[in-house]
Amino acid sequence: MTTPLQDDPQTLVSTEWLAAHLKDPDLRIFDASWYLPGSDRDGRAEYDIAHIPGARFFDIDEIADLRSDMPHTVPPVEKFMSRMRAMGVGDGHQVVVYDGSGLFSAARVWWLFRLMGQKNIAVLDGGMPKWIAEGRKITDDKPLIRDRHMTVSRQNQLVRDVTQVARAAKLGDHVIIDARAADRFTGDAPEPREGMRSGHIPGSRNVPYTTLLNADGTMKDADGIRAAFDAAGVDLSKPAITTCGSGVTAAILSLALERIGKTDHSLYDGSWSEWGMYDDLPIATGAA
């Protein structure tokens, strides 16, 4: 039996916590379900059929910078504020975000809120699968929404671009942690996007995001998180940069780091979708 994590409204909360606070007037819930291409699942369609009462749908592909060639990159501040206003999410609200996998795309929204200077946001540990398994209420009703203002203060230290990551890889002054599956990290499995090279950023360490999760999709306790990073040779004395395929599961690493009290971490937004497309950037293959 796994030891349950302590509820923290700024990182991770349990289904029990959410059930107890479900009728709080300042609570806002997001369903941020997103699935990899080829999974034959549609997050918005599933939301329309059933979601946690009061939940709004957060589309990470639309609340993004659509001018970018990379998928679901960070949206301009003005767009983020506009979308939050339209969904009735503003200053003073406690936000809880979940997804249909358990703990997958919700962490990306948690990180995006943190990037925008919002701290009162937590991921629902175990997500929709755990909520349903416990027999908790679901609905297809849409919430009544009233515009609310959100004050945004972008925290630039939480995101890294390709130039910054290339410099960090060259100097070795950061630990770069890759959340992709081991066979993609080593270059033994092809990348899902056509024309993309296989391998990893030189010097990076591989912590597949699944190694941070329990069998039921909840996050491991602090000891389990530290053990996963230790097993991969991650030097937590250095500032961390998280990365993955397209900046989604990297946020699970960021959330795990935050859970163990490591706050000097940033996320490479372009991740391998960007790095793997540039022939002039070095790549490594095989185990780290």
The string of DSSP codes covering 7-51 is PBTTTEE-HHHHHHHTT-TTEEEEE-----TTS---HHHHHHH-B
Q: Which helix (H) or strand (E) holds 86?
A: helix 77-86
- Does 244 qualify as catalytic in the annotation? yes
Question: Tokens in use for 240?
Answer: 């961390």
Q: What is the largest CA-CA distance in the chain?
A: 53
The amino acid occupying position 122 is A
The amino acid occupying position 178 is D
Beta strands at 94-98 and 27-31: parallel, antiparallel or unpaired = parallel
Active-site choice (244, 248, 251, 256) = 244
| Other C-beta atoms lying within 10 Å of the C-beta of residue 231 | 11
Q: How many CA atoms are closer than 13 Å to the CA of 272, on its beta-carbon side? A: 33
Active site (catalytic) residues: 244
